[in-house]
C-alpha cells in the first residue's frame, strides 16, 4: 500500500510466510540440546534482568527483554509483533509489583492518576490494533531509535 | 489537576504515549520526561506513575494480542515469573547501589544495543544503493 503501512493482504501474506518452521520450543526449554539449554539460561537471565531494571531504575525492562528476544530468539517467534506482545504480557506482573512497592514506600501519589488511566487503556488498545498495519521494519526502526534516545537521556 | 484545559492536554498526551506503548516501542522514557519536564513531578514519583501507566496500557493491548494469537501462555508465565524475581531482587539491591550510576550504565547499554540494532541495517541499505 505504501512504505509505512501494510495492506490487509500484505499483512496476511507476511503472517503466513513468517509462521513457516517457527516454534516456541526454542525458548520453552523443550529442546534437549546444549544449545537449547544455553538459550534457556540466557532467556531466564534476561527475564530476571528486565525485572531488575524496572525495579532499580523504574524503566527499561521492556526494552531489555524486547531487544534480547529479537536479537537472539527471533527464530522462536512468529514475527516481531509476537515479540512485542510477549514482552508486554511478561512485564505486567513485575511493573505492577514495582508500582505497588513505590506506593508502599510513599513514592507514588495516585491522586492525579485517574487523568492518565483511561487514555492509557484506550491508547494501549489502539496501539496494538495499529501494530497490524505498520510494517515490522518500521517498528524495528522506531524501537531502535527510541532505545538510543533513551540511552542518551540516561547517560546525560 | 482539575477538569480544565490542562487536564485535557494531559489526557491527550498520555493517550498518544499509550499508543506508542501499545505498539510496543517503549514509551516509558517519554512519559517520565513529560511528567518531570512539564508538570514538575519528582523523578521517583514519575517512575512509579510510569510503571502503573504501562500496566494499564499493556493490559488493554493484551486483549487484542490474545485475539490475534500472538501470546504463548507458558512462555509468558515463565518470563513473567523470572521478571518478578528480578523485580524483587532489584528492589532490594537498589537500596544499596547508587541509582545514578545504575542509570548511566544502563544508558550506555541502551546506546550500544540500539546502535547494534539500527546501524547494520541502515548500512546495508546504503550499501545496496551503491
pLDDT of residue B69: 82
Mean pLDDT of the region A21-39: 54
Q: pLDDT band for position A16 (50/70/90)?
A: low
What SS3 state is found at A5?
strand
> Is the ipTM of this structure higher than 0.85?
no
Q: pLDDT band for position A52 (50/70/90)?
A: confident
pLDDT at A24 over 50: no
B69-99 confidence digits (pLDDT tens): 888 888 888 889 988 898 888 888 877 877 7
Angle at A15 between CA A12 and CA A19, to 5 degrees: 145
pLDDT at B115 over 90: no
Between B123 and A62, the higher pLDDT residue: A62
The pTM of the full predicted model, rounded to 2 decimals, is 0.76
E strands present in chain A: none
pLDDT at A26 over 50: no
Count of pairs with CB atoms under 8 A, one residue in A, one in B: 347
Between A55 and B120, the higher pLDDT residue: A55
**DSSP H or E segment with residue A100:** helix A80-104
| Percent of chain A clearing pLDDT 70 (strictly above) | 76
Residue from B28, B79, B115 whose CB has the most chain A CBs within 10 Å, to mutate: B79
> How many Å apart are CA A98 and CA A103, to the nearest integer?
9
**Minimal-distance CA residue of chain A relative to B32:** A59
Q: Sort out which chain A residues have CB atoms less than 8 A from B79's CB and list them.
A: 43, 47, 65, 86, 90
pLDDT of residue B100: 78
pLDDT at B56 over 90: yes
Mean pLDDT of the region B39-56: 85
Nearest of B68, B14, B121 to residue A88 by alpha carbon: B68
A32 to chain B nearest CA, in Å? 17
pLDDT of residue A120: 93
Mean pLDDT of the region A66-82: 80
Amino acid at each position: 500500500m505504501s512504505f509505512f503501512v501494510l495492506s490487509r493482504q500484505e499483512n496476511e501474506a507476511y503472517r503466513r510466510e513468517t509462521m513457516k518452521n517457527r516454534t516456541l520450543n526454542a525458548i520453552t526449554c523443550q529442546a534437549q540440546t546444549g544449545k537449547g539449554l544455553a538459550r534457556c539460561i540466557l532467556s531466564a537471565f534476561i527475564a530476571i534482568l528486565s525485572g531488575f531494571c524496572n525495579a532499580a531504575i523504574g524503566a527499561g525492562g521492556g526494552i531489555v527483554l524486547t531487544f534480547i528476544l529479537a536479537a537472539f530468539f527471533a527464530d522462536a517467534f512468529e514475527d516481531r509483533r509476537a515479540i512485542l506482545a510477549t514482552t508486554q504480557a511478561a512485564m505486567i506482573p513485575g511493573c505492577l509489583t514495582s508500582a505497588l512497592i513505590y506506593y508502599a514506600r510513599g513514592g507514588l501519589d495516585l491522586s492525579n492518576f485517574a487523568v492518565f488511566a483511561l487514555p492509557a487503556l484506550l491508547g494501549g488498545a489502539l496501539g496494538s490494533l495499529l501494530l497490524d498495519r505498520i510494517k515490522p521494519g518500521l517498528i524495528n526502526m522506531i524501537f531502535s531509535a527510541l532505545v538510543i534516545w533513551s540511552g542518551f537521556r540516561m547517560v546525560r | 489537576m482539575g477538569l480544565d484545559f490542562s487536564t485535557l492536554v494531559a489526557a491527550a498526551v498520555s493517550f498518544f504515549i499509550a499508543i506508542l506503548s501499545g505498539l510496543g516501542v517503549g514509551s516509558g522514557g517519554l512519559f517520565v520526561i513529560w511528567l518531570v519536564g512539564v508538570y514538575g513531578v519528582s523523578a521517583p514519583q514519575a517512575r512509579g506513575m510510569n510503571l502503573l501507566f504501562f500496566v494499564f496500557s499493556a493490559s488493554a493491548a493484551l486483549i487484542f494480542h490474545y485475539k490475534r494469537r500472538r501470546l504463548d501462555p507458558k512462555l509468558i508465565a515463565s518470563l513473567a515469573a523470572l521478571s518478578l524475581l528480578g523485580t524483587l531482587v532489584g528492589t532490594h539491591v537498589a537500596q544499596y547501589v547508587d541509582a545514578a550510576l545504575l542509570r548511566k550504565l544502563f544508558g550506555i547499554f541502551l546506546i550500544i544495543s540500539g546502535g547494534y540494532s539500527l546501524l547494520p541495517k541502515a548500512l546495508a541499505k546504503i550499501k545496496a544503493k551503491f
